[in-house]
Amino acid sequence: MNSDSDEPLSNRYSRSMSDNDEDEDELPLAQRRMPKRQQVSPAHSDDSDLPISRLNTSNGKRSRSNHTPNGHQRDTTTGNHRKRQRTSASSASIPNGKMSGVKREPKSQPKTEPVLGHRHTAVNAEPGTHRVPNGNGMSQDAPDRSNGASNGGYRWWDEKNMGGNKLKWSTLVHNGVVFPPEYVPHNKPLIYKESTISLGPAAEEIATFYAEKLGTDYVKRPKFNANFFEDFRASMKGTPAYAIVKKLEHCDFSLIHQHVEEYRRAKKAMSQEEKQAKKKLEEELASKYLYAYVDGRKEKLGSYKIEPPGLFMGRGDHPKQGKVKKRIYPEEVTINIGEDAAIPECPMPGHHWGAIVHKHDVTWVCYWKERVTNQAKYLWFAAGSTFKGMSDHAKFEKARKLHKYIDNIRRDYRNDWKAKSKEVRQRAVAMYLIDKLALRVGNEKGDDEADTVGCCSLRVEHIKFHPPSTIELNFLGKDSIEYRNTVEIERLAFEALKLFCRGKRPGDEVFHRLSVQGLNDYLKSSMDGLSAKVFRTYNASITLDRLLQETPSDMTPDELVVYFNKQNKEVAILCNHQRSLPKTHEAQMQKMDKKKNEIIEWLEELKRGKSALKRLKAGSSVELTKMRPEKPQFTEDMTREQRAEERKRANEAPRISTSVKRNLTQLETEIIKVEARLSKTESTMIMKDDLKTVALGTSKINYIDPRIVVAWCKKHDIQIEKIFPKTLQVKFAWAMETSEDFRFYEGMVS
DNA sequence: GCGAGGACTTAGTAACGAGTGG
DNA sequence: CCACTCGTTACTAAGTCCTCGC
């Protein structure tokens, strides 16, 4: 517990206003700085305080929906204590919102001299000097010892001093990036009130974006349609269509939609050779652009393509969904490259790069501003690159380090639930929720973004209290994914939380005194580099590590993989990683159910036969009735469609009763086999239904220390490819040599 | 000290294509 | 062999966290 005197005056002031007062009129202060507190000394901890899996909660039900769980929008006139209006104001800071022509430097100045892109004029380097040997700077092909690795097989994890540098590279050479091709009009008209309207190329392209989305849920959303139509109509300005096309309801995109469908069909129906040719073309392009040289090493990029134009597909209730994302031209793009490297030729004739910079402290090769959200977009290196690998490794080492501090941190936040200062109490309860429930921290969001929340931005309407100490959380989190969890929490935290909500309106923030910055600043005082997101990584990884320790020893490899996925699922549920219900899920379940019933039917027949046989003398056999599906009757001249039709008919036809003979030994072995098949079918069904809305991949890619997986695979003699697909093996190349003894929370470098 | 925005990670989904079982 | 499933990859939106400039 920190004493008042340790605090800056500003905090004391805010405390005097709020301490122990649960006044409903209490206004959030603009200042939400947290007091510094004494350093927590590291200590080892036991295995207590595991995060509680969502499965064990009284109500493990989770669902997903596209609407606000609470069914209503926050009252912005009364209950809005949130800082908003960030982006709208900022977009105005760029005059006219355009960059073209003017070579504009991105706001943050590079450490090295920036060079505004004047039509590929080489910068800093005198012509012809300090250049990589050949013209394009990509000649010195380092030998690729990589085995498909993204970084030429460079084993950075063998180096003494990996990462940690402010400067990320000394030399950077690449060939630039590729732009989406110009639009080629198809001249299919729009139908408006039953007459055809030919659109100019600009409007036609936008209409085509929309036609591509027909059939999806997006076009059912009023906001999506309204935003689209506004931009669509604006694109018609100056053409005759502008005077005619006034309402989306009267627009019929079916001719364009037809064209889109035809194009899709044709693409699908391409011959093998055509597909090959296309693939080859793509590979040729990739061979020029997909790799860059970092300090002389060949490193793979994540992508070399500027995003093509289209409609902005914002998730959830995004205010800007449906708006048109315009085509990006080189003038809007900033290239980051080494001073000595040749400046890549601008791939679009008649255009030039927006700017060329030499920022050694960042890892992107190109940057532009996306005009709908005003967000910066970058092209980065691939997941298996040295940059990403090092940073991934550092992320997990940081999470492992947290283990040394976690006991103290938990002890402290429990103590702080009783603190005098409300800010301290709010911070302590928020930390508890972040730790226990693996919640995201929840930054403030603007009015021009979907209304989603995390821990710090939780509102009163998101929590229900069920005494003595159970809370029911229901809110939309990242990507507007619903978080729904009813969970028992510690009594003191429950009481504190209830107090935070007392007298507030539904739209008020629960932790109105707490800021993300304040929370993270405080965490840093407990452990160097600690921030809220580390808890998610830590709890996800340590949960899996511990669960895997309990692996039964008598499992077959197949069973082990199933077992792994089951534990992986626990982690995914902890992190609330969801996916949408697969469209065919219901049908698949029905199919499996049918199969299961058929197995049961056959099993009963076998058992009936067995008991019948017992009444007969040894060596005799019995007649059984086996139901077989009808076989499809194909003829030579049948078309593809006819064959499919026939297959379907046979499948749906009543099964044919056949008679088979079995003796006792045959029966007994078959019963065992069929029982095994039945149990496998049943467990697959349960698993499938369990996982229908759970996404396992996200935790595997982002939260689970890959060394845990590698160690487990080695220990149980499971091939790594059963757990990690090829791309993950490349991404986690640094973890592949982990020994089977590896434990997430032991033996880490401090 | 604060807000804006820059840099980077994390996220779900659509498209693709390899594997598989009838 | 062929259709269908399912795992994988590509894509890009949406978070986190920190720095920068006022």
Chain A 17..46 CB hits on strand B (< 7 A): 30-33
Q: Which nucleotide is nearest to A577 (CA to C1')?
A: B11
Chain A 186..225 CB hits on strand B (< 7 A): 216
Residue A137 binned pLDDT confidence (cut-offs 50, 70, 90)? very low
Question: Do the beta carbons of residue A342 and residue A137 sit within 8 Å?
Answer: yes
- Say how far A250 CA is from C10 C1', in Å: 35
Chain A 530..569 CB hits on strand B (< 7 A): 533, 536-537
Question: Do the beta carbons of residue A295 and residue A180 sit within 8 Å?
Answer: no
Token pair for residue A364? 């992107």
pLDDT per residue as tens digits for the range A620-664: 888 888 887 777 776 666 666 666 677 667 777 777 788 888 888
Name the residue with the least CA to C1' distance from nucleotide B5. A107
- Say how far A645 CA is from B20 C1', in Å: 21
Give the C-alpha separation, A69 to A474, whole Å: 7
What is the pLDDT, as a whole number, of residue A385? 95
Give the C-alpha separation, A723 to A573, whole Å: 18
Helix (H) or strand (E) holding A426: helix A422-437
Tell me the mean pLDDT in the region A249-273: 88
Give the C-alpha separation, A719 to A499, whole Å: 52
What is the pLDDT, as a whole number, of residue A374? 92
User: How large is the C-alpha radius of gyration of chain A?
Assistant: 31
Tell me the mean pLDDT in the region A110-123: 31
Tell me the mean pLDDT in the region A93-111: 34
Q: Which nucleotide is nearest to A325 (CA to C1')?
A: C12
Mean pLDDT for all residues in chain A? 80
Question: Do the beta carbons of residue A750 and residue A402 sit within 8 Å?
Answer: no
CA angle A316, A319, A324 (to 5 degrees): 100
Question: Do the beta carbons of residue A99 and residue A329 sit within 8 Å?
Answer: no
C-alpha to C-alpha distances, A658 to A340, A620, A625, A633, A672, nearest whole angstrom: 80, 20, 6, 18, 22
Name the residue with the least CA to C1' distance from nucleotide C15. A478
Assess whether A480 (CB) lies less than 7 A from strand B: no
Assess whether A378 (CB) lies less than 7 A from strand B: yes
Contacts of A95 (CB under 8 A, 6+ apart): none
Give the C-alpha separation, A237 to A245, whole Å: 11
Q: Which nucleotide is nearest to A30 (CA to C1')?
A: B2
Question: Do the beta carbons of residue A548 and residue A567 sit within 8 Å?
Answer: yes
CA A347 to chain centre: 32
Report whether pLDDT(A174) > 80.
yes
Collapsing DSSP to helix, strand or coil, A225 comes out as helix
Q: Which nucleotide is nearest to A579 (CA to C1')?
A: B12
What is the pLDDT, as a whole number, of residue A164? 59
What is the pLDDT, as a whole number, of residue A681? 79
Report whether pLDDT(A32) > 70.
no
Amino acid at A527: M
Among A38, A292, A8, A56, residue whose Cα is nearest residue A177: A292
Q: What order do you get walking across the sheet with A463-466 strand by strand? A: A463-466, A470-476, A482-488
Which domains can be identified in chain A, with CATH numbers?
42-80+389-541 (3.90.15.10), 585-682 (no CATH)
- Say how far A215 CA is from C5 C1', in Å: 23
Q: What is the DSSP string of A473-542?
A: EEEE-GGG-EEEEEEE--HHHHHHHHHHHTT--TTSBTTTT--HHHHHHHHHHHSTT--HHHHHHHHHHH
Tell me the mean pLDDT in the region A120-130: 29
**% of chain A at pLDDT higher than 90:** 56
Lowest mean pLDDT among A157-161, A515-519, A710-714, A726-730: A157-161
Give the C-alpha separation, A273 to A278, whole Å: 8
Region of A746 (left: φ > 0; alpha: ψ -120 to 50; beta: rest) is beta
Residue A603 binned pLDDT confidence (cut-offs 50, 70, 90)? confident
Contacts of A212 (CB under 8 A, 6+ apart): A260
- Say how far A313 CA is from C14 C1', in Å: 12
What is the pLDDT, as a whole number, of residue A597? 84
pLDDT per residue as tens digits for the range A328-379: 999 999 999 999 999 999 999 999 999 999 999 999 999 999 999 999 999 9
What is the pLDDT, as a whole number, of residue A65? 37
Tell me the mean pLDDT in the region A208-230: 94
Name the residue with the least CA to C1' distance from nucleotide C10. A303
Sign of CA dihedral A415, A420, A423, A425: positive
Chain A 485..514 CB hits on strand B (< 7 A): none
Q: Which nucleotide is nearest to A726 (CA to C1')?
A: C8
What is the pLDDT, as a whole number, of residue A711? 96
Among A439, A426, A423, A450, residue whose Cα is nearest residue A510: A426
Give the C-alpha separation, A191 to A203, whole Å: 13
What is the pLDDT, as a whole number, of residue A271? 76
Burial class (CB in 10 A: 0-12, 13-18, 19+), A576: buried
Report whether pLDDT(A315) > 60.
yes
Active site residue A703: yes
Name the residue with the least CA to C1' distance from nucleotide B10. A702
Assess whether A336 (CB) lies less than 7 A from strand B: no
Q: Which nucleotide is nearest to A723 (CA to C1')?
A: C7
What is the pLDDT, as a whole number, of residue A278? 83
Name the residue with the least CA to C1' distance from nucleotide C6. A582
What is the pLDDT, as a whole number, of residue A280? 85
Between strands A251-252 and A190-192, the pairing is antiparallel
What are the residue ranges of helices labelled H in A575-621?
585-614
Identified catalytic residue from A289, A293, A703, A745: A703
Q: Which nucleotide is nearest to A643 (CA to C1')?
A: C2
What is the pLDDT, as a whole number, of residue A747? 56
Q: Which range has highest mean pLDDT (A72-86, A96-110, A685-699)? A: A685-699
Strand B nucleotides with an atom less than 7 Å from a protein beta carbon: 1-14, 16-17, 22
Strand C nucleotides with an atom less than 7 Å from a protein beta carbon: 2-21
- Say how far A307 CA is from C11 C1', in Å: 9
More confident residue, A637 or A519: A519
Question: Do the beta carbons of residue A485 and residue A57 sit within 8 Å?
Answer: yes
What is the pLDDT, as a whole number, of residue A64? 33
- Say how far A750 CA is from B4 C1', in Å: 35
What is the pLDDT, as a whole number, of residue A199? 93
Lowest mean pLDDT among A110-114, A253-257, A392-396, A644-648: A110-114
